[in-house]
């Protein structure tokens, strides 16, 4: 098999949560470019419609599902809709996420549960549903979790994101553990750990930290619109068929110093 064939996703079906904007839309673009049929889900119908128009304008086949992943009882219906359109799910990108900034001693209960529900619980429940109904019967599949470099370390003074950091550490270990359990089914599970990328979740912190973000990053830049595309295609495709349970850091080198 050629290298080009290893990266080819023609005929595969990819479900991307939080796929209407930001990192999710970037990853959906990449998977579509490599031939995957796309299902994207998010809470806001207008943003999904815009994303669909954008992706279809690029020539990709797209299904959109309005869904709030924090309402766990809606997850089977989400999978139902994708299966009704495409028949299966080969690639699952658990990308939807939430954050909340507050000092640990003042962190609201509701905020803690919101972050954990979307960043930890929903990926498990959705992966379980897709695994049981598609990947285990098919004997193959790739599950990718959008974690974060925040899951690898604490926070600089003033960031106060204990819920987010804790949830992303859990996401990394979720990928490792599910990979160890489901490997014998032919299912691979990996995490991507982005550093700072412009997004609705991160823009406030990027503005707050300013130039210090760039100066303490070896590559002297933050993430851009193309910087997760190669990583997600690699982990979704046969190019990484002997890789599972890993956390791929995409942060310009910021976490090494």
Contact (Cβ atoms closer than 8 angstroms) between residue 189 and residue 182 = yes
Q: Which of 60, 107, 164, 185 is catalytic?
A: 164
Q: Among this protein's residues, is 185 annotated catalytic?
A: no
CA-CA distance, 167 to 115, in Å (whole number)? 7
**Residue 59: Cβ within 10 Å count:** 8
Inter-residue contact 83 to 133 (CB < 8 Å): yes
N-terminal to C-terminal alpha carbon distance within the chain = 38
Q: How far apart are CA 88 and CA 26, in angstroms?
A: 22
Contact 208, 7 (CB under 8 A): no
Angle value at C-alpha 144, between 63 and 59, nearest 5 degrees: 35
Which has the closest alpha carbon to 159: 100, 116, 97?
100
Tell me which residue of 68, 152, 44, 164 sits closest to 115, measured CA to CA: 164
Residue 86 in tokens = 């495409």
Q: Which residues are catalytic?
A: 164
């Amino acid at each position: 098999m050629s290298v080009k064939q290893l990266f080819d996703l023609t005929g595969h079906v990819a479900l991307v949560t939080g796929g209407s904007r930001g990192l999710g839309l970037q990853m959906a673009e990449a998977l579509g470019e490599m031939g995957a049929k796309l299902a994207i889900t998010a809470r806001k119908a207008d943003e999904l419609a815009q994303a669909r128009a954008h992706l279809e304008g690029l020539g990709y086949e797209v299904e959109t599902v309005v869904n709030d992943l924090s309402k766990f009882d809606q997850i089977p219906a989400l999978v139902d809709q994708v299966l009704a359109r495409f028949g299966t799910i080969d690639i699952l990108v658990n990308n939807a996420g939430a954050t909340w900034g507050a000092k640990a001693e003042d962190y609201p209960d509701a905020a803690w549960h919101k972050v954990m529900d979307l960043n930890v619980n929903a990926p498990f429940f959705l992966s379980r549903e897709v695994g049981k109904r598609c990947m285990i019967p098919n004997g193959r599949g790739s599950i990718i979790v959008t974690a974060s470099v925040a899951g690898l370390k604490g926070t600089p003074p003033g960031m106060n994101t204990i819920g987010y950091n804790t949830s992303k550490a859990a996401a990394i270990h979720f990928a490792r553990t599910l990979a160890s359990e489901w490997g014998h089914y032919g299912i691979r599970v990996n995490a991507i750990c982005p550093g700072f990328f412009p997004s609705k979740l991160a823009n406030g912190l990027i503005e707050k930290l300013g130039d210090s973000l760039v100066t303490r990053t070896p590559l002297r830049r933050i993430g851009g619109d193309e910087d997760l595309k190669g990583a997600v295609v690699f982990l979704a495709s046969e190019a990484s068929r002997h890789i599972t349970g890993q956390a791929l850091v995409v942060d310009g080198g910021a976490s090494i110093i």
